[in-house]
Structure formats: C-alpha cells, structure tokens
Amino acid sequence: MRIYISADMEGITGLVDADDVQPGGRDYERGRLMMAEDVNAAVRGAVAVGACDIIVNDAHGPMRNLLPETVDPRARLLRGKPKQMGMVEGLTAEHDAMICVGYHARAGTLGVLSHSFMGHEIEDMWLDGRPVGEIGLAQATAAAFGVPVVVLTGDDTACAEISAWDDSVTTVAVKYAHDRFTAQVRPADETRRAIEEAVSARLSAPINPPATPPTSSTLAVRWQSASVAATLLGIPGVTTKDSRTVQAQGQLPALYRQFCVWMRVATSLTNQPPYC
C-alpha cells in the first residue's frame, strides 16, 4: 500500500498563532516538533495496517519545517522548494490514498489561521464556481490522479470544510476554533492517538476510488491586488472576471500547476511569499 501524506502546519495540534508556524516566530521551533508528532502519528497508523511506501510532503511555507531526524524513518520526506506542484508535489496515480495532516480552513472563514495559499494576497478562490481553499483544491487534484483523500486532520472548521466538500473523508479535529488565532486545544497525547487510530481504521477498510473529476475545470482567484490580476493576464489562457479576479480553464492536475505559477508571479509583485 502506497500512502501520500501532505503536511501543513496551521492545523497541527496545539498551534494557534503565526508565532507558532512562521520561521523566526517565538514558538516556531516548538511548532515544527509538534508538526512532526502529528505526521508521525499518521505514519504509525499507516504502517500498522501494512503501508510499505509512505511519502511525506512538507507543504507549509518554506517547506523545510520538518527536521528530517524528527520524522519516522519509515516515511520518506519531501523537503524544500520550489515545488512545481506545491502542496501535492510527488503525488502520483500509483498512490493508494492521500492523508492531509495539519490542514486549515480557507480564506474568509473563522478557522484557526485560515487563509488560502497566501496570507494576504488571495481573497477568495472558486473551482467550477464553488468556493475552494487548500483543502478542496488538494482533494480535487488528488481525485484527478485517481487518489482519494481518506483522512484529514486540523481544527474543527477544516474538518467541516472537507466534510462538506467530500463526505467520505475521515476527520480528526485536533482543536476547536474560537477565533482566527484562538482555539481550545486537545491534549497532544489524545490527538496523536486519535490520528493514529483514524488512519489505521480508514486504511484497513476498503478504499473506494474518488468520483471521476470533470475533464475541464475553471479555477478563479480573487487577488487583493489589481496589479497581480493585470500581470497574470499576460499568461495565455488567463481571462479576467473583474479588476482583481482572474480565471483559467484546464484539467487538473495541470491547472493546479498553473496556479502555482500564478502564486510565484504574485510573490514577485508583492514581496509576500505564499505560506500555504
């Protein structure tokens, strides 16, 4: 069984603030160790039911949050950037299932550290007219590879977001959002056990392939900056909806890859790096 783990940081056990998840933040060094523990719980759960090929993609910010020596050696770590496919780098049709660890709700929702890919630059996104963030886009891109997302961990708003998007996904809420930087956090021993058990239980049940995605999708992104939108119009196939919203049509996963290029353009114009 081949398992792909995409690990973000905002939805990790105990973490609630930018200081916990951004390099240089007061509690970042502790946050990255907490991240490794949630990831390792998922790895243990997968190994326990026979997974023999596990890849962990560090999908947050600089994508060098997980220290290799802190990750369970039964998994292979994909570390650093750039990554052409960002949060789903290394995912292929050969994987049997995808697990999202430490994910967070999309921009505009009252979830812990909620945003969509970039902290300030992306106001909203839609996939085929449906509001989407990192969670929905990860699920849809995995589905395009024929790989189902089977487990997602994060705060309760992230769990609700994936459940509304794909109700077959098992969720583990590691904290309960009170506001964007405030949560009631579950004890770490409890969440790590819950993650391990959820992964084992889900992977030992039959894994159904995801619903076949459409052959063509439309991704629309509303930027804070009209300058970003205007610049992106220079890319063939990109059209405008209004002065700050651009869209493109195509097939996932290629559309996801193009979106990663859009973010690089936005970063170069605004000096705001994506932190996913």
Task: List residues with catalytic annotation.
Answer: 115
Residue nearer to Zn ion on the CB measure, 47 or 174? 174
Interface with Zn ion (CB under 5 A): 8-10, 60, 276
- Omega of the bond prior to 62 within 30 degrees of 0, cis? no
**Alpha helix ranges (H) inside the chain:** 18-21, 28-48, 134-144, 156-165, 188-204, 226-232, 254-270
From CA 112, how far away is CA 183, in angstroms rounded? 7
Radius of gyration of the chain (CA): 17
Min CB(186)–Zn ion separation in Å = 20
DSSP for 62-130? TS--S-GGGS-TTEEEE--S--TTGGGTT--TT-SEEEEEEE-PPTTS-STT--BSBTTTEEEEEETTE
Min CB(82)–Zn ion separation in Å = 16
The amino acid at 226: A
Residue nearer to Zn ion on the CB measure, 32 or 44? 32
Residue nearer to Zn ion on the CB measure, 8 or 156? 8
Residue nearer to Zn ion on the CB measure, 12 or 144? 12
Residue nearer to Zn ion on the CB measure, 45 or 86? 86
The amino acid at 90: G
Min CB(188)–Zn ion separation in Å = 19
Q: Report the residue closest to Zn ion, judged by CB.
A: 60
Min CB(83)–Zn ion separation in Å = 13
> Is 240 in a helix, a strand, or coil?
strand
Report whether 111 contacts 211 (CB < 8 A).
Answer: no
Min CB(119)–Zn ion separation in Å = 9
